[in-house]
């Protein structure tokens, strides 16, 4: 790097930490870091120095203010007006003694020297004033700000070991320079500068200040806004300097660590005995492992290895996996924490243990108020057009059915339904379904359920619903089927906002089909229906196995 480039990089770095950068300046900084390893190393040094200064008072030192500007102008003026400190070289043995008049005046030989002494004294005084100013700023001004720079924004079933968060009337806070260990549960930590990181079981960490967090053990997922370029996440074997990103960090018991980039860019340098070396730029989709000795090797990104979104009020904990609609109907978050056998009554929209009487389509479209994502349920009947969403979307493509149904819709087998197929796990291509690992919606004709895609999107900020996919049909079950079950005859329908995207009629026992469909970004409701194909719901069991919404990053 040239000296001019270093000056420019220094200006951009200080600007990113102090006042923020314009989009053009931010692009210039990223370009410089991308194109030069020297620039990345120099940037790393600058951020490290800034962070070290910030550690003294709890926040980064801000070199601003009229007093500091005045000091700088005085130093500049002194440098411009001070006389030259050079003196003529005297030849050895040629020193002449002063006469009496020179001794009395004292002005002949020492005038320049005294000017130099005065300049040096002035410089020393200014340096002392500058240091006093800095001490005042760090030790008086900074501590007047809130000391607690980290707040527990959300948590669920947490168990802390060692140091514990401090709770007051404003919330739950974590103090700087203390080690915390989350033994169990989930936690979302919000720093005062807007940086957010999420933790789960067996995570140990330390918050040095709002610009730096040490991950000592376990996993942490960081979300860093573009206004916080320069934020540092340290591990025992790496230093990560953020450029406005989302990334996950894992630290293992042996000391090795991993970095997984999900959005944006960051600079990472291996770190051995608190010394960094060879900074490298990482972009979205990349991942790297750093050994105990600081050796790096590229690895495959773990798309679901970190807790990335949580909302304990909605029992929602997302690691990046696809969302299971069966699990959601089972009162889960779509990630496997739903209850197997949890069922919704088609006549009331309420969760029940079992249905003991025949239900009729005359009950109409029933909302499910206890589940934010399950919009409603109904019994399809082709005799009249059916309301299929809470926004009154209408579908008139159902064939004439009996208009009745005996059983609720459930997440997997409902073990309270007595001795029949509804309390057995089903088998498709030799694989068991109706389990936590392979969930399935159990639906007896005639039944339908609608899911609210809008509600799900609000729970997944920064993500999009890309696709719906499932295996549907009339499967085999764990027990030998009866003759009645072998004559099952059902129709399957899938709707988006009341518009048909799948219609499969006369599906017989043992027939299953794969289905997948892209989901438009403006789609609001997804409806799944199983109806009888011959006017009688007798033994017409059907499933939507692994009904999933594929989630992708915007």
Residues 228-262 pLDDT 10s? 989 999 999 999 999 889 999 999 988 899 999 99
**Domain containing 518 — which CATH number?**
2.60.120.1060
Q: Helix, strand, coil: what percent of the chain each, to 5?
A: 25, 40, 40
In this structure, the answer to whether residues 340 and 381 fall within a common structural domain is yes
Separation between Cα atoms, residue 234 and residue 244, nearest integer Å: 16
More confident residue, 234 or 353: 234
N-terminal to C-terminal alpha carbon distance within the chain:
36
Percentage of the chain lying above the pLDDT 70 cut: 76
Segment 443-485, tens digit of pLDDT: 988 899 999 999 999 999 999 999 999 999 998 877 666 666 6
More confident residue, 230 or 57: 230
Confidence (pLDDT) at 299: 97
Question: Is the separation of the CB atoms in 426 and 414 below 8 Å?
Answer: no
Asked, for residue 265, whether it belongs to a domain, the answer is: yes
Structure tokens at 261: 């980039």
Asked, for residue 342, whether it belongs to a domain, the answer is: yes
Segment 288-308, tens digit of pLDDT: 999 999 899 999 999 999 999
Residue 31's contacts (CB-CB under 8 Å, 6 or more residues apart) are none
Of the three residues 239, 265, 300, the one that is the final residue of a domain is: 300
Structure tokens at 416: 């309270």
| Whether pLDDT at 75 is above 60 | no
In this structure, the answer to whether residues 326 and 281 fall within a common structural domain is no
Question: Is the separation of the CB atoms in 527 and 495 below 8 Å?
Answer: yes
Mean pLDDT in the chain?
82
Question: Is the separation of the CB atoms in 492 and 529 below 8 Å?
Answer: yes
In this structure, the answer to whether residues 389 and 522 fall within a common structural domain is yes
Q: Which helix (H) or strand (E) holds 213?
A: strand 212-223
Separation between Cα atoms, residue 548 and residue 439, nearest integer Å: 9
Segment 382-397, tens digit of pLDDT: 788 999 999 999 999 9
In this structure, the answer to whether residues 521 and 437 fall within a common structural domain is yes
The SS3 of residue 391 is coil
Segment 358-380, tens digit of pLDDT: 677 678 999 999 999 999 999 99
Separation between Cα atoms, residue 39 and residue 14, nearest integer Å: 14
In this structure, the answer to whether residues 276 and 189 fall within a common structural domain is yes
Segment 144-171 mean pLDDT: 85
Segment 19-36 mean pLDDT: 78
Asked, for residue 26, whether it belongs to a domain, the answer is: yes
Residue 536's contacts (CB-CB under 8 Å, 6 or more residues apart) are 402
Q: Which domain holds residue 23?
A: 1-34
- For Cα atoms 204, 210, 212, give the angle at the middle one, nearest 5 degrees: 55
Asked, for residue 122, whether it belongs to a domain, the answer is: no
Separation between Cα atoms, residue 272 and residue 324, nearest integer Å: 43
* Strand pairing class (196-200; 212-223): antiparallel
| Range in 115-119, 242-246, 482-486, 529-533 the model is least confident about | 115-119
More confident residue, 162 or 481: 162
Segment 496-508 mean pLDDT: 95
In this structure, the answer to whether residues 356 and 276 fall within a common structural domain is no
pLDDT bin (cut points 50, 70, 90) of residue 59 is very low
Separation between Cα atoms, residue 549 and residue 461, nearest integer Å: 15
Asked, for residue 80, whether it belongs to a domain, the answer is: no
What b-and-e string marks burial along 480-498, b requiring 16 or more CB atoms within 10 Å of the CB? ebeeebeebbbbbbbbbbb
Asked, for residue 521, whether it belongs to a domain, the answer is: yes
**Number of folded domains that form the chain:** 3
Confidence (pLDDT) at 535: 64
Q: Catalogue the E-assigned strands of 19-88.
A: none
| Range in 166-180, 185-199, 447-461 the model is least confident about | 166-180
Structure tokens at 495: 């709707």
**Domain containing 159 — which CATH number?**
2.60.120.1440
What b-and-e string marks burial along 67-89, b requiring 16 or more CB atoms within 10 Å of the CB? eeeebeebeeeeeeeeeeeeeee
Separation between Cα atoms, residue 328 and residue 224, nearest integer Å: 30
Asked, for residue 78, whether it belongs to a domain, the answer is: no
Separation between Cα atoms, residue 213 and residue 191, nearest integer Å: 10
Asked, for residue 381, whether it belongs to a domain, the answer is: yes
Confidence (pLDDT) at 96: 54
Segment 101-128 mean pLDDT: 55
- State yes or no: cis peptide before 446, omega within 30 of 0: yes
In this structure, the answer to whether residues 388 and 447 fall within a common structural domain is yes
pLDDT bin (cut points 50, 70, 90) of residue 63 is very low
- For Cα atoms 218, 292, 195, give the angle at the middle one, nearest 5 degrees: 40
Confidence (pLDDT) at 318: 96
pLDDT bin (cut points 50, 70, 90) of residue 36 is confident
Most confident of 95-109, 139-153, 176-190, 350-364: 176-190
Separation between Cα atoms, residue 18 and residue 28, nearest integer Å: 17
Separation between Cα atoms, residue 485 and residue 461, nearest integer Å: 44
Structure tokens at 530: 């199983």
In this structure, the answer to whether residues 436 and 397 fall within a common structural domain is yes
In this structure, the answer to whether residues 155 and 217 fall within a common structural domain is yes
Segment 407-418 mean pLDDT: 79
Question: For the chain, what's the residue count?
Answer: 554
In this structure, the answer to whether residues 335 and 427 fall within a common structural domain is yes
In this structure, the answer to whether residues 329 and 465 fall within a common structural domain is yes
Other beta carbons within 10 angstroms of residue 191's beta carbon come to 23
Please state, in angstroms and as integers, the Cα–Cα distance from residue 191 to each residue in 201, 268, 400, 460, following that order.
20, 21, 59, 21
Of the three residues 300, 335, 370, the one that is the final residue of a domain is: 300
| Whether pLDDT at 141 is above 50 | no
Confidence (pLDDT) at 58: 41
Long-range contacts of residues 234-238, Cβ cutoff 8 Å, at least 24 apart: 234/271, 235/271, 235/290, 236/271, 237/270, 237/271, 237/272, 237/290, 237/291, 237/292, 237/294, 238/268, 238/269, 238/270, 238/271, 238/290
In this structure, the answer to whether residues 227 and 366 fall within a common structural domain is no
Q: Which helix (H) or strand (E) holds 456?
A: helix 453-458
Q: What is the CA radius of gyration of the chain?
A: 35
Confidence (pLDDT) at 54: 52
């Amino acid at each position: 790097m040239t000296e001019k480039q270093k000056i420019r990089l220094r200006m951009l770095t200080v600007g990113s930490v102090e006042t923020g950068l314009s989009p053009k300046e931010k692009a210039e900084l990223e370009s410089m870091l991308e194109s030069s390893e020297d620039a990345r190393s120099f940037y790393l040094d600058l951020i490290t120095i800034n962070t070290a200064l910030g550690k003294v008072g709890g926040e980064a030192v801000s070199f601003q203010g009229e007093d500091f500007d005045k000091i700088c102008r005085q130093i500049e003026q002194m440098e411009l007006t001070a006389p030259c400190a050079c003196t003529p070289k005297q030849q050895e043995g040629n020193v002449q003694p002063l006469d009496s008049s020179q001794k009395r005046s004292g002005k002949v030989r020492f005038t320049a020297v005294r000017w130099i002494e005065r300049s040096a004294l002035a410089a020393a005084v200014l340096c002392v004033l500058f240091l006093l100013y800095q001490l005042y700023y760090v030790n008086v001004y900074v501590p007047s700000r809130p000391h607690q720079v980290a707040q527990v924004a959300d948590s669920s079933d947490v168990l802390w070991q060692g140091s514990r968060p401090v709770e007051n009337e404003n919330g739950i806070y974590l103090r700087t320079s203390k080690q915390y260990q989350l033994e169990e549960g989930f936690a979302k930590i919000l720093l005062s500068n807007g940086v957010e990181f999420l933790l789960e079981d067996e995570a140990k960490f330390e918050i040095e200040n709002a610009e730096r967090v040490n991950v000592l053990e376990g996993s942490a997922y960081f979300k860093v806004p573009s206004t916080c370029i320069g934020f540092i996440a340290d591990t025992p074997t790496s230093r990560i300097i953020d450029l406005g990103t989302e990334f996950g960090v894992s630290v293992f018991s042996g000391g090795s660590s991993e970095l997984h980039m999900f959005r944006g860019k960051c600079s990472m340098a291996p770190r051995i005995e608190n010394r960094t070396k060879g900074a490298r730029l990482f972009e979205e989709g990349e991942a790297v492992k750093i050994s105990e000795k600081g050796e790096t090797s590229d690895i495959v990104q773990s798309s679901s290895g970190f807790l990335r979104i949580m909302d304990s009020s909605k029992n929602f904990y997302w690691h990046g996996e696809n969302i299971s609609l069966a699990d959601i109907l089972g009162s889960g978050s779509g990630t496997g924490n739903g209850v197997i056998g949890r069922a919704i009554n088609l006549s009331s929209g309420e969760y029940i243990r079992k249905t003991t009487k025949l239900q009729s389509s005359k009950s109409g479209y029933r909302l499910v108020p206890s589940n934010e994502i399950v919009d409603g349920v109904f019994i399809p009947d082709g005799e009249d057009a059916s309301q299929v969403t809470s926004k009154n979307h209408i579908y008139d493509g159902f064939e004439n059915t009996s208009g009745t149904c005996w059983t609720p819709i459930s997440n997997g087998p409902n073990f309270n339904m007595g001795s029949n197929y509804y309390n057995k796990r089903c088998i498709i291509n030799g694989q068991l379904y109706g389990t936590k690992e392979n969930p399935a919606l159990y639906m007896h004709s005639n039944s339908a359920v609608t899911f609210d895609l809008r509600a799900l999107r609000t729970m997944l900020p920064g993500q999009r619903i890309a696709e719906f996919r499932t295996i549907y049909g009339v499967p085999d079950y764990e027990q030998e089927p009866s003759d009645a079950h072998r004559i099952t005859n059902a129709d399957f329908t899938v709707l988006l906002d009341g518009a048909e995207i799948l219609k499969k009629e006369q599906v017989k026992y043992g027939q299953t089909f794969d289905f997948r469909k892209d989901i438009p970004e403006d789609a609001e409701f997804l409806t799944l229906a199983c109806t009888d194909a011959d006017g009688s719901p007798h033994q017409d069991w059907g499933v939507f196995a692994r009904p999933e919404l594929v989630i992708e990053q915007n």
